[in-house]
Amino acid sequence: MTPLPYKEEQAVVSVSDMIAYVEAEANLELRLITKNHVLTRSLNHHAVNRPGMNLFGFFRYFAHDRIQVFGRGEHKYLDELCQKKELTHLKKFLSYPIPFIIFSHNNTPHKSFIDLAEQHQIPIAVSSFPTLKLVHSIHNFFDDSIIVKEVHHGVMMEIYGSGVLLQGATSIGKSECALELLERGHRFVADDVVNIKRIKGNTLVGYPSPMLATHMEFNGIGIINVAHLFGVKSILREKEIELVICIEKYDSAREYDLIGLEHKTHTILDVELPMIVIPAKVMSNIPILIETATINERLKKTGYNTAKEFNKRIMKHITGTNNSYVE
C-alpha cells in the first residue's frame, strides 16, 4: 500500500501556470489578446474580483491582486469610457499590479484599454464562457493547482454510492474484482494509477490520470474501454474516497479479525480512512466480500455497529444478564 513516488503541494501559482493548465485541460477557453505582458506574476489569492465599483473610481477596497473578471456589464461600461476618452479611472485601475484580466462572453475590450494594459505589462485574455461559468472554471483551476495531491497504485470504484479504493499487491486481482463489480452495476473511476487530492479540509477525492481515464488493463486481454463496454453510466470522473479495502493473499499463520471489532485505518495525505483487509483464498468471491464490507461500513456511519452489538449480546449472555438470549 505504499504510494507511488509522487507528491505535490503548491501554495502559489502564476498566470503562466493558468495558461499551461488551459492548454492541457482545454476547459477555460482563454485567448490572450495582449502582446507586451508579464505572465510570471503570482496569483496569491484564489478568488476573482469583479471591478464594478473600481471603474467608477472607488479604489479603497480594490482587490487588485486577484484575477479581474469583466462580465457584460463591466465590458459595456468600459467600452463607453473608452469611446468618450474618459480614461482617468482606467489609468488608475491599471496602475495597480493586477496579475491577470479576463473578459467573458468573447467580449474584446477597446483598443485604448489594451494599450494601457500593455504599458503596465498586464495580460488580458478573452473567454467564450459566460461570466458565472468562467468564474467557476477559475475556481476549479485553483482547486487543481493548490491542493495537495498523491498518486497511489490501486483501483477506485463507487460501490453502493460509496467511494472505495482497492489496494493490494500487483496481480492480486484488483482489476478483476473491479470488472466483476462493474458487471454487478457499480461504477468505475480509475484503474492502476489513482490520483488522490485533498479538498475542503479532510475530504479525499480519487480520479484517473487523463491518459488512462475510462481504461482498464488485463493480462491476456489487454486494454479495454469501460465506457464503450459498459456504457457511460458505468464511469465517474472522480469520487470521494470513504473506504480503503486491502486485498492480500491469505496467510494461514496470521490471525484475522473474525468479529470485526478491530478498527483499522489507512492514512493518505494526513487523512485517516477506515480500512478493511480481505484475505484472498482460493475460490473465494472477493467482489461479494467487497460489497458486503462497503455496506457494513455505511451501516456504521448510521450509528449501528454489528460487531459491537454482537459482542454486547455475548457479554450479556456470559454474565447472565440477558435471559432472553437463545442459543
Q: What is the pLDDT of residues 80-93, one digit of tens each?
A: 999 999 999 999 99
Question: Which of 144, 176, 211 is the endpoint of a domain?
Answer: 144
pLDDT value for 26: 53
Contact between 323 and 313 under an 8 Å Cβ cutoff? The reply is no
Is position 103 within any domain?
A: yes
Q: Answer yes or no: do 182 and 296 share one domain.
A: yes
Residue 66 cell numbers, joined:
486577484
To which residue does cell 494601457 refer?
Answer: 116
pLDDT value for 89: 94
Q: Answer yes or no: do 222 and 290 share one domain.
A: yes
pTM for the model:
0.59
Q: Answer yes or no: do 118 and 155 share one domain.
A: no
Is position 211 within any domain?
A: yes
Q: Answer yes or no: do 123 and 156 share one domain.
A: no
Domain total of the chain? 2
Q: Answer yes or no: do 177 and 277 share one domain.
A: yes
Is position 129 within any domain?
A: yes
Q: Answer yes or no: do 115 and 153 share one domain.
A: no
CATH number at residue 278: 3.40.50.300
Q: What is the pLDDT of residues 262-290, one digit of tens each?
A: 889 999 988 999 999 999 887 789 999 99
Contact between 182 and 188 under an 8 Å Cβ cutoff? The reply is yes
Is position 58 within any domain?
A: yes
Q: Answer yes or no: do 198 and 132 share one domain.
A: no
Question: Which of 122, 144, 166 is the endpoint of a domain?
Answer: 144
Cβ atoms < 10 Å from Cβ of 129: 20
Distances (CA, A) of 37 to 9, 55, 108, 297, 301: 27, 22, 17, 54, 53
Q: Answer yes or no: do 101 and 128 share one domain.
A: yes
Is position 37 within any domain?
A: yes
Q: Answer yes or no: do 101 and 189 share one domain.
A: no
For residues 75, 80, 84, 88, the Cα torsion angle rounded to the nearest 10 degrees is: -40
Report d(CA 4, CA 27) in Å as an integer: 28
Q: Answer yes or no: do 68 and 154 share one domain.
A: no
Q: What is the pLDDT of residues 128-165, one digit of tens each?
A: 999 999 998 888 788 766 667 889 999 999 999 999 99
Is position 302 within any domain?
A: yes
* Domain span holding position 301: 149-310
Q: Answer yes or no: do 277 and 161 share one domain.
A: yes
* Per-residue pLDDT band at 325 (split at 50, 70, 90): very low
Is position 60 within any domain?
A: yes
